[in-house]
Amino acid sequence: MSGLWSRLSFTKKLFLLFSVIGSIPVLLLGMNAYRMSAQVLESQGERDLQVIANQLLKSIERQITDFDRFTLLPYYTPEAFAFLKSRLPAEAFDYAQLDAQKKLLRLMSAYPSINASIKGMVLYDMNGRGSGYRISSSSQLKDDYSIFGESWFRQAVEGKGRFIVTGLHEANHFSSDSFLAITGARLIVDDDLNPLAVLAIHISPEFIGRIVKATELQDAYIAVTDASGNPVYLSREEYGDDLPVLAAQTAGGTWELEDRNFYGVVEHSDYLGWTLYLGQDRDKLFEGLSLIRNFTVYAAVILVLAAGFVSYGLARGLSTPIQHLIKVMREVEIGKFVIPDLLNRKDEIGQLYLNFSRMVKRLEEMVQSIEEKERQKRHAELYAQRARIQPHFLYNTLNSIRMLAILQQNSQIAGLILSLNKLLKAIFQYKDDLVPLREEIEWLKSYAELMDLRYTNTFVIRWNIPEPVQDASMPPLLLQPVLENAIFHAARGLNRELNITISAHLGNDRVLNIEVADDGIGMTDEQMAGLLDDRNRDGRVGLRNVHERIRLRFGMQYGVSLARPDGPGTCVRIRLPYLPISQGGKAHVESDGRGG
């Protein structure tokens, strides 16, 4: 990881750093805001469900309370109460008792017509004799039916006058078909708390549906169970399979069905012994939470993008000047003294640009000063070396003229003096630093004529200078010392005529190659190395002088080299850059002498 970080550019590092620093607070704030909003909404949703469930259960309890009060009617009807207390068999009833029985039956038949939720009513004495009334069907009780087996009858007897409510069960003591009902029953007792009869009301569970419909909770998950956990009411039939799962989650007061995506609350009625499960689709219940989540996500994304955009701007603002400064430094490194534009900034980067600009300007001035001094030094050396050539050359030439005049007294002296005048004119009057190879060859031929007058029949020169290379520029009088060495040294002790070949050709690398080859006595390796050795300070100026002049002007890759031809003798090779005279012109020193 550290290796990858080290390879990243400064801009990317700053961008990542600023992005992380800017994004982390945004993400933390967004997550915290969403979590707090979610908690508030979930808490509010749970409270709302709890209130609705409580109100729904209270409505059910109020409805059951009406039935509870009705079971007290025998206590407020003296005739009916006296009839129940008589405990006589039906065949022993007198007129008053029969009349009381009729009044009781009329009451039992009248109340169901008032409350549509009652499907039927029964009254059983403690001997099992009963009277009943059923809506929309036969009210005749079964003669062979034993009421003592009914759970609601036993619960009512055990309740000792307390109103009890059962769960949903089948009421089958009428001669007609049985039906599903919720039974509310009460034991009727006398003043001494002796049991007289049990009055039971069979209630249709549809009254719960009407209550639910009135609360506009049709889409809600609603389940009502009795004390045994059996369903009393289900908003949908398939919810009955979920009751064991819901019963296992009642400890926390809330429940959740992940497969159905329902979330709800639990309410228990001590009065009825029933449990109400009220739930709602989680997405619908927490619809506001989804909006908050989406808003939080969008806001976080926008803020993160904004942080990234600002981070990129900051990173670019810091890295761009530095990258520009690095580019300028590389230019300075290769010798291009480019002064960067000053930034309109007062911070550290602006100060860095200002100081760097001053440094580059000062460095450029120092380099120019050094180059000027080096240029003056090289020109002084070149002129000094050329001055060293002139006395040496003039001494030998004048001595030759003197000897020829003494020995021969020949008219050739005029030709010799003419050639000498040409050379003196070239030496003293020519001001250009570079001359065409054509002129150099003409001077060299004049010099050869002088040497031929001095050393008659001693050497023969062959010229091999193609026309295309004759416009090549070169320092003046560069070849004279080379030819002089060939004539003086190569022919020394030679018993035959010395053959000298002067040739020139252009190489593939645009290098002008000039060769002065002879078939003289030759030299050893030590002698050839000594001629070009800078440490040789014996005062000889020949080839070493030519070599130094070329390197000082054109660079270290040019100069003089010596080689042995296939036969006897020595070959002096001169390498010069090919510069036609139109390009060479009157240029001064071309190179700094460091090889380029």
pLDDT of residue 594: 36
Residue-wise pLDDT for 439-463, tens only, equals 889 889 888 888 887 778 889 999 9
Phi, psi at 434, each rounded to 5°: -125, 145
Angle at 320 between CA 317 and CA 326, to 5 degrees: 145
pLDDT of residue 260: 80
Phi, psi at 310, each rounded to 5°: -65, -40
Quick one: which of 184, 198, 204 has its CA closest to 64?
184
- Dist. CA 101–CA 110, nearest whole Å: 14
Low-confidence stretches of the chain (pLDDT beneath 50): 90-93, 95, 429, 538-540, 584-596
Structure token pair of residue 117: 């939720």
Other Cβ atoms within 10 Å of 199 Cβ, number: 24
- Dist. CA 255–CA 265, nearest whole Å: 6
pTM above 0.85, yes or no: no
pLDDT of residue 469: 92
pLDDT of residue 462: 94
Q: Specify the DSSP class assigned to residue 466.
A: -
- The owner of tokens 């001064």 is 588
pLDDT of residue 235: 84
Contact 426, 440 (CB under 8 A): no
pLDDT of residue 247: 83
pLDDT of residue 421: 62
Q: Give every strand in the sheet of 221-225, ordered side by side.
A: 231-234, 221-225, 275-281, 262-268, 254-257
Contact 274, 224 (CB under 8 A): yes
Structure token pair of residue 97: 């008792």
Contact 143, 201 (CB under 8 A): no
pLDDT of residue 18: 66
pLDDT of residue 366: 84
For residue 89, the Cα-to-chain-centroid distance in whole angstroms is 98
Q: HEC states along 121-173?
A: EEEEECCCCEEEEECCCCCCECCCCCHHHCHHHHHHHHHCCCCEEEEEEEECC
Cα separation values, 456 from 400, 448, 453, 487, Å: 12, 11, 5, 11
pLDDT of residue 100: 59
pLDDT of residue 551: 87
- Dist. CA 136–CA 111, nearest whole Å: 14
pLDDT of residue 242: 85
